[in-house]
Structure formats: C-alpha cells, structure tokens
Amino acid sequence: MTDSTRLHHNRFFVWTALAMLAVLALAFGKSFYLRPVFSDKPLPAYLIVHGVVMTLWYLLFLAQASLANIGRRDLHRQLGIAGVLLALGVVATGAFVHLNFIGRMQAAGVITSPQDVMRGMGFVLAGLASLVPFVILIALAVGLRRKAALHKRLMFWALVWTLGPAFSNSRPLGQWLDPLVAPHLPFFPSDLFWLAALLAYDWKTLRRLHPATYLTFFLLAFYFFFVTDWLVGSALLQGWLQAYLQS
C-alpha cells in the first residue's frame, strides 16, 4: 500500500469521528450543550465536568484521526499520552455520575419508593459494569499501539462503546429511532451501523474482514447481553451498592 493510499484510507476514521460528534450534538444538544437556552435548571458541577471530559474524548479521536490522515504520526503518538489521561477521566467521571444517580433522582422526585431504588440500583450497576470493557479496550489499544490495524480498531470500538447512552430512549435520537424497530426489538441496534461501516472499511482496504472488527463486536455484544445482567443480579454487588448508598 502506497503512502497516499494509506492516508486516503485513514479518512474513514476522520469521518467516523465527525459522525460521532454529530451524534453527541443531536443527543445532548438540549440537555447539555444548549442547556441554558432550553432549561433554567443548572446541571450539577460533576455532570458538567463529565460532559466536558466526554466531549474532549471525542474531539481527541478526531484530532488523532486527522493527524494520522496527514501523516503526522509523531504528533499522534505524543497526543496519545494525553489520550490515556483523558481515558482515565472518562472512567472516573463516569463512575462518579453513576454512583450519584440515585441521590440525584431522589432529590428530583423521580425515585420515591423502595421499588424505584431497586430499579435505580440496577441502572447504576449496569453503568458501572459498562466501564469494564472500556478499560480493557483502552489498555489493549495502548499495549498494541505499534500494531496499527489492531490499535485503531480497538480505539474505534472504545469510542462506539461510550456512545451508547446517546441512543438511549431518554434521548432524542433514541426516541426517534426506537419506534422504527419496535415491537420487533427492545431497542434500536445503533452499534450495527458502526459495525457495517467498519466492515465496509475492512473490505475496501484489506479485501477481507479484520478479526478485531467482528470479534470485538461479538465480545462486546456478549458482555452487554449476558455479563452485564449477571453483574447487575450479583447479590455481592447489590450489597456493596446498598452499603455505599447508606454510608
């Protein structure tokens, strides 16, 4: 593959990053980015910090993809150090947001009964569990950073994984997309779009499907549908969360 062809192929990740930023804008425009226009209720400081960190996370992906596209791999590697620190921020702020979810919903009058608390605990545990694959993907991507094909696909899935909340049925995108598949599916399978895009990229650039593309997808799907339910139903984790909430 010539240098010009390689740079042309890197544009896929630039366009992917732009698409993800567009998804963020559509999903969180009213509730975060343009909140002062649509609501007079300010967000807690920790939610603002989390929103800023997540926005920077996707902007970093765009910057890294753009640097790779223009052949500035030296700057790409240097910026990768900041990426690791930012990934830690994603985990830390994400955990803090989930651990404060029940208290915030109680203060807002949304959670008012023991049954509501139990449902809220399931949501919190599922959110905390979702951080585990993200940590693993980032650790693998950093460890395999010299294997470019693996590295960029692992980072791609790490970004897609964190984009899940943008398609929840409490967000505008989810409210619009979910009815398109109901009652056949419980939610709109947005990840299939990202999978199809990456598979098309594989076929165009390699004339085959890269194992990191489909194996990572299937492992994440298995974790989402089976492991997460197991963790949410764990008596040990439920007891720990109850003790935390009562402390």
Q: How many CB atoms within 10 Å of residue 159?
A: 20
Which spans in 29-44 are helix H?
Answer: 35-38
**Of the given ranges (18-27, 36-45, 103-112, 185-194), which has the lowest mean pLDDT?**
185-194
Q: Give the tokens for residue 171.
A: 């967000």
Q: Are 104 and 123 in contact (CB under 8 A)?
A: no
Residue 177 has pLDDT above 90, yes or no: no
Residues 79-96 have pLDDT tens digits of: 888 899 999 999 999 999
**Overall average pLDDT of the 54-76 stretch:** 90
176-200 average pLDDT score? 83
* Range 31-35 contact pairs with CB under 8 angstroms and sequence separation of 24 or more: 31/171
What is the value of pTM for the model shown? 0.91
Angle between helices 114-129 and 235-246 (to 10 degrees): 110
Please enumerate in sequence order all residues whose Cβ is within 8 A of that of 179, keeping only pairs 6 or more positions apart, or say none: none
* Whole-angstrom distance, CA of residue 51 vs CA of residue 42: 13
> Mean pLDDT throughout 109-129?
94
Task: For residue 89, give the amino acid letter.
Answer: G
Is the model's pLDDT at 62 over the cut of 70?
yes
User: What's the distance, Cα to Cα, between the start and end of the chain in Å?
Assistant: 59
